[in-house]
Chain A
Amino acid sequence: MRNRVEMKGRKGIYPAGDLCWLLPGLLGWAVFMAFPFGKTVMLSFRTQANNAPMFSAENYLRLFQDSYYLLSVKNTLLFFIPAISVTWVIGLAAARVLLWPVKRKNTFLVILLVPFFLPASSVTVIWKLIFGNGSVLMNSIRPNDQRWKYASLLLLYLWKNIGITATVYLVSMHAIDGRILDAARSDGASEYKVFFLIQFPLLRKATIYTAFFLMICGVRFFREAYLMFGAYPASNLFFVQHYMNLYFARLDYSRLSAAGIVFSAGILAITAILSDLNRRKEGDI
């Protein structure tokens, strides 16, 4: 059979004509994402003044002088860096626990995953009942404290995303060749050494993928923040998307576009650094 495959050649097995099947997805992506995004980029260079030049960087310059924008960037970073790190650590620990032979492991995995899929609107109703402004829990611990609101949102992020992080790690841990671990154990390595010196370095790809995935979840987490605290939340929960929402209500699309593009550029830069790190490490191996 191999000879016949060679006779047919790579182009015979994977003809370029098949790529036309990419078109439905590509067109949809272009119409509903790429084209509107291009328009947003153009919009970000336009100002609302009548006699302003066609393209100007004024929106970007004004953005960095806007204290609300700087506050929103600071809040976004202060929320998502701890949120992603804690989710990542707990998810990894949960995956490690599930790697051991535990009864009803699959049932637990499904339970862990359920919060990820639940609708934000229902989840925020529960969260408001438990952590809301007048709830028993809040009144008895710290009433009307901004830090408590921050903590409740952080808990919601953890509750929703720990399951999916644990699943990604669990799948990656199963993919590691058991013989490597057995060899280390037979050489007298403790479980801690096996985990930190062998398993964890081999989970590098999963770690980068998880970081990427948790960032996507972070970008989408605005809906929970919006449903919990509305369009005008406490000052420590005023995220970049709240800022964009504010300018949408004011119909200032240019400023909104500039804010969104700077935010996206930051996320893309972090992703690029992570991917580069992954590639370099692969080169080392």
Chain B
Amino acid sequence: MKNKLLLSVIVALLAIIICIPIWILIVQAVCPPEDARNISLFLQPVRLITTPDLQQFRTMIARHPDTWKYLSRDILYCAVSALVQCFIANLGGFLLAKYHGLFLKWLTTLYACSLLIPLQLYLIPAHQTIREIGWNESSVLMYFTVAFSPFGALMMRQVYRQVLPDEWIELFRMEDGRFGQLCRIVVFPAGFPASCVLYLISFAEGWNMIEQPLYLISDTRLHPIAFRLYNLYISEPDVICSAAMLALIPIPLLILIILWLAFRPAFSIEKHRFRGPYSCEASAAWEWIQSRD
């Protein structure tokens, strides 16, 4: 009993240590702009508690009326690129996990190796090529690296190796299920929680972009909000905390949505029963699947 209490205290302390930096940012974001300016310029120490005041946000939006436009644009691009990444990763991950062949083994190794190479090595030749073909200064360009990253395929490969028994695939093939049906009914629902996590990772990767705007885009209006903050720190210290806070909000919000979506009990693979010519056998298999669950 005593040990259990001690453990809970240790865990709570660790949680507090992790939360302190986020708390500090929230407090500085809701203190008056004059104080925020002094804090950013180190003329006064950071506050740990304050009376909430949204003046900083109002000042920032008054100075940059197109903040919402850029924010919504960034959210849209990140959301779409993460969706593309999930789709590609699910297909690639399933094929890499369940199909066999030397080519697939090599491809997996190449995908893994390419993750360890710094982004600059892709971005600089890409920058040169883009300049040559004249397709310069497009913010969509930056998101291709997120949408086509091999990370997702490798992650989903590991997931499908664990969550998808061969028997499920065999059953659907016995029922003359096509690849599209197989993915829609069995593969994607089985990997749904992991796909949600992958969506979050890809979204955060897109939202976090620093190297891409640094190397590919020179027009500051096209820079994502995360990169724009870097310049804001020097030019507008009175609103930097509120801007940082605004850039932070989509991620915890997405984490909550993902947690609700991926792990809610209402979602069940059983809802997507396959209706094939051998429905009795399919039902028996689904009972087996349920018993395994």
Contacts and interface: CB of A to CB of B under 8 A. Distances in A.
Contacts of B39: 129
A29 B108 CA distance: 12
The B interface, classified by DSSP as helix, strand, loop or mixed, is helix
B128 A253 contact: yes
Range class of the A interface residue count: 35 or more
A267 B144 CA distance: 24
B122 to A, nearest CB: 4
A99 to B, nearest CB: 10
A12 interface: yes
A37 to B, nearest CB: 6
A117 B46 contact: no
B42 A36 contact: no
A110 B15 CA distance: 10
Interface stretch (B50-58, B61-69, B203-211, B267-275): B203-211
A128 B233 contact: yes
Interface string B1-39: 000100110111011001101101100100000000001
A117 B257 CA distance: 14
Nearest to B116: A267
Interface residues of B, number: 94
B226 interface: yes
A15 B120 CA distance: 38
A97 B252 contact: no
Given A37-B121, A103-B8, A122-B229, A115 B208 contact: no
B174 A121 contact: no
A32 B148 contact: yes
Nearest to A263: B118
A159 B226 CA distance: 19
Contacts of A110: 255, 259
A144 to B, nearest CB: 13
Nearest to A90: B14
Contacts of A222: 118, 210-211
A25 B171 contact: no
Most chain-B Cβ atoms within 10 A of its Cβ — which of A29, A31, A130, A134? A29
Most chain-B Cβ atoms within 10 A of its Cβ — which of A5, A19, A97, A121? A121
Interface string A61-104: 00000000000000000000000000000000010011011111
Interface string B244-256: 1101100110010
A13 B200 CA distance: 32
B18 A111 contact: yes
B76 interface: no
A125 B22 contact: no
Nearest to B145: A32
Given A14-B98, A33-B148, A134-B42, 11 more contacts: A1-B170, A14-B169, A22-B92, A32-B148, A33-B145, A114-B22, A121-B227, A125-B25, A128-B233, A159-B21, A267-B117
9 contacts: A22-B107, A25-B92, A117-B255, A120-B210, A121-B244, A134-B41, A163-B18, A244-B120, A248-B215
The 9 closest A-B CB pairs, nearest first, are A28-B148, A134-B42, A223-B210, A36-B125, A39-B125, A125-B244, A121-B229, A121-B226, A25-B88
